[in-house]
């Protein structure tokens, strides 16, 4: 893989018109062939280790870590899945996303002020500013990169601080915009990558808004699904057999793509691995699929905390003393909530075609309040069937932990 494999923004419309041919061959052999080819190119992006951390925990859900020592963001990436190939592909794709965001060619950048780009551009990105941004930010020259706005099918410039993944210190960007990986998407086609990025943006924005709702956890907890899908059933059984408490909350949203928030927590001393609850989020086409994604991510968060290998898990994540009364109250919340909504049934149905899913994502982004849906292609490797994009959809919130 080479950083120069990123196509121009103008190629996005043509890429979306291409038929998703690989889905016509869904045999295990085809998936294994693709994954072997992907793993075989690990050295191209600096990956030195691919390893399982599954047995550090007792849940049994496959969790894989990928190590990239020369990363300019996190050197350790995680992946999860219901099978080893799924978990490995998930970890590899996460590492490739960050690598692609670190290696944007300089010739794709344009130095300009927001003021010089017009009122519409200035107002659009003013909605993304962090609290510490200078008042005269619009008069400061910053690097921009061209993307493609899916709302109006026109090119659009994006501040590169919202696109790249160079998280070194001191930062190469002035303090203006949030620096997160939200909106990065990878897939075997560009269409897949865009859909994944869109679901993540919707998920993070919904969770960030849920955090600002008074008494959200008391009012929005749902029961675990009864007639659950195979994926959801497998995960719930694994969590239950491990003796963990599982709580689900549905984040309120104005669109038809459900978003769930999951907490996994141990029942208490004396045999604790992770005293604090592990959380996960999920947005998908159906309620059960979204819940399964949230539970799966919470399983990954547990294993990650146990491994202690990620640089962004600091000493604050491992306090020397826990507030035992607060932990007991939260275990009570998970096991016997005073109010519990019935898990939603019916509702939105999955779309068989990737092409049909994109309009649903774009409609949901509009309903959520996005003023644009700008796609910046970062990697398009046809040989390896790997595509990476960044979706920027201001003013949707990028950080699920944000309370701004």
Banded model confidence at residue 4, pLDDT cuts 50, 70, 90: low
> What residue ranges do the domains of the chain occupy?
209-310+326-335
Q: E-assigned strands of 107-153? A: 109-112, 142-149
Pick the CATH number of 209-310+326-335 from 3.20.20.120, 3.30.160.660, 3.40.50.1860, 3.30.750.24: 3.30.160.660
Cβ atoms within 10 Å of 268's Cβ, excluding its own:
13
Task: Convert 34-51 into a string of H (helix), E (strand) and C (coil).
Answer: HHHHHHHCHHHHCCCEEE
Per-residue pLDDT tens for 186-203?
999 999 999 999 999 999
pTM value > 0.85: yes
Model confidence pLDDT, tens digit, residues 172-231: 899 999 999 999 999 999 999 999 999 999 999 999 999 999 999 999 999 999 866 788
Torsion-angle region of residue 76: left (phi > 0), alpha (psi -120 to 50) or beta?
Answer: beta
Structure tokens that stand for 225 in this block: 């699904």
Could you say which DSSP state residue 320 is in? S
What residues are paired with 262 via a beta bridge?
Answer: 248, 280
């Amino acid at each position: 893989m080479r950083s120069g494999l990123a196509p121009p923004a103008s190629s996005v419309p043509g890429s979306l018109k291409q038929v998703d041919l690989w889905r016509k061959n869904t045999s295990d052999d085809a998936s294994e062939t693709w994954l072997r080819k992907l793993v075989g190119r690990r050295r191209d992006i600096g990956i030195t280790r691919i390893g399982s951390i599954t047995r550090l925990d007792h849940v049994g859900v496959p969790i894989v870590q990928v190590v990239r020592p020369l990363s300019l963001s996190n050197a350790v990436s995680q992946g999860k899945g219901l099978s080893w190939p799924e978990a490995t592909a998930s970890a590899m794709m996460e590492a490739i996303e960050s690598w692609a965001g670190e290696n944007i060619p300089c010739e794709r950048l344009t130095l300009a002020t927001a003021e010089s780009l017009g009122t519409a551009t200035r107002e659009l990105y003013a909605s993304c500013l962090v609290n510490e941004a200078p008042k005269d930010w619009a008069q400061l020259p910053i690097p921009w990169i061209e993307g493609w706005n899916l709302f109006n099918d026109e090119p659009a410039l994006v501040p590169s601080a919202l696109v790249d993944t160079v998280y070194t210190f001191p930062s190469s960007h002035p303090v203006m915009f949030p620096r997160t990986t939200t909106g990065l998407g990878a897939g075997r086609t560009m269409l897949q990558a865009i859909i994944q990025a869109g679901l993540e943006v919707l998920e993070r924005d919904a969770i960030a808004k849920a955090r600002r709702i008074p008494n959200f956890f008391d009012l929005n907890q749902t029961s675990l699904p009864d007639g659950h899908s195979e994926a959801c059933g497998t995960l719930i059984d694994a969590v239950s057999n491990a003796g963990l408490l599982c709580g689900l909350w549905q984040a309120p949203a104005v669109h038809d793509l459900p978003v769930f928030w999951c907490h996994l927590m141990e029942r208490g001393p004396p045999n604790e691995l992770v005293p604090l609850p592990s959380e996960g989020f999920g947005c998908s086409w159906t309620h059960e699929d979204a819940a399964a994604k949230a539970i799966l991510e919470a399983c990954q968060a547990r294993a990650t905390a146990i491994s202690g290998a990620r640089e962004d898990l600091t000493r604050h994540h491992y306090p020397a003393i826990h507030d035992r009364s607060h932990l007991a109250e939260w275990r009570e919340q998970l096991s016997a909530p005073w109010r519990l909504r019935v898990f939603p049934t019916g509702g939105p149905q999955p779309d068989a075609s990737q092409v049909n899913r994109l309009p649903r994502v774009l409609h949901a982004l509009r309903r959520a309040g996005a003023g644009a849906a700008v796609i910046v292609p970062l990697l398009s490797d046809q040989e390896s069937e790997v595509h990476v994009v960044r979706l920027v959809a201001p003013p949707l919130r990028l950080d699920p932990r944000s309370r701004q």
